[in-house]
Amino acid sequence: MDFEDLVTALAPPPNRAGKSEGPHEHHLYEGAVMLAYAMHLLRTASARNVRIHPDGEHGKQFDFAGWFVRRGFAKVSSLGGTTYGGVYRDEAGQTVTVHPKSGLGDVVAEAGGQIISAECKGGIINTRHPGQVSRLYKGLCETVGLLMATPSQGRQVAVVPLTQATLRLAERLAPRCALAGIEIALVGSRGQVTDVRAPIGSPNAAGSQSRDEDGMAGRPGGA
């Protein structure tokens, strides 16, 4: 999976100048993370319809409707009071329902007879600023905590941006998350998804290492 328009590049504020790789901060907003994981489920989990539930702030940060048009999805119906809420369908009949309502799970799909529910967070993926790196850490911890507080109806997945920092934390969390039935997935800048699994030898090992959606082991090239 390769999407070139998930990241928003912005000039950093004065207090973060020089704290990113390159002149701009690369924001992988929460809405973009939701879309990337929704597309991942359509491609890999045999899901035909995926629902995402952004809030108003997500809609201000990311152009959902324009992104779907560029991906070959047509808006076939509207939902809610926003311009982007509705059902989007591609030529293969796969649909993504954008329902701007909180409390329903950020990304929800049914595949293989079970519900997949994901909580997502975004962040700046090329930052070295301590406060922003800390936000990435907290985002992963928050998604795991939200899932632990939500009754499980199937698979539960915590989804955050892929950086060196989030990968290290995810690898530490994976064995304990496995005990609670929670998976961790990391989204790269172009929409690639890496599932972080408990290592071999742990009581709940689900795989040998972090793997992307094509089954290839690897680590991100930058923070």
Closest of 31, 39, 36 to residue 92, by C-alpha = 39
Q: Please give the mean pLDDT across all residues of the chain.
A: 89
CA 93 from centre of chain: 23
Q: Are 196 and 143 in contact (CB under 8 A)?
A: no
Closest of 95, 88, 149, 160 to residue 121, by C-alpha = 160
pLDDT at 208: 36
pLDDT at 1: 60
Task: Flag whether pLDDT at 221 surpasses 80.
Answer: no
Domain residue spans of the chain: 9-196
Closest of 140, 156, 38 to residue 98, by C-alpha = 38
Nearest-angstrom CA–CA distance, 114 and 205: 21
Mean pLDDT of 94-123: 93
pLDDT at 209: 44
pLDDT at 49: 95
pLDDT digits (tens, 9 = 90+) for 169-217: 999 999 999 999 999 999 999 999 999 987 755 555 444 344 455 544 4
pLDDT digits (tens, 9 = 90+) for 35-72: 999 999 999 878 899 999 998 888 899 999 999 999 99
- The conformation of residue 9, written as its DSSP 8-state character, comes to E
Question: Side by side, which strands form the sheet with 211-212?
Answer: 74-78, 86-89, 95-98, 49-52, 107-111, 114-120, 154-161, 182-187, 193-196, 211-212
pTM, entire model: 0.88
SS3 193: strand
pLDDT digits (tens, 9 = 90+) for 115-168: 999 999 999 999 999 999 999 999 999 999 999 998 888 999 999 999 999 999
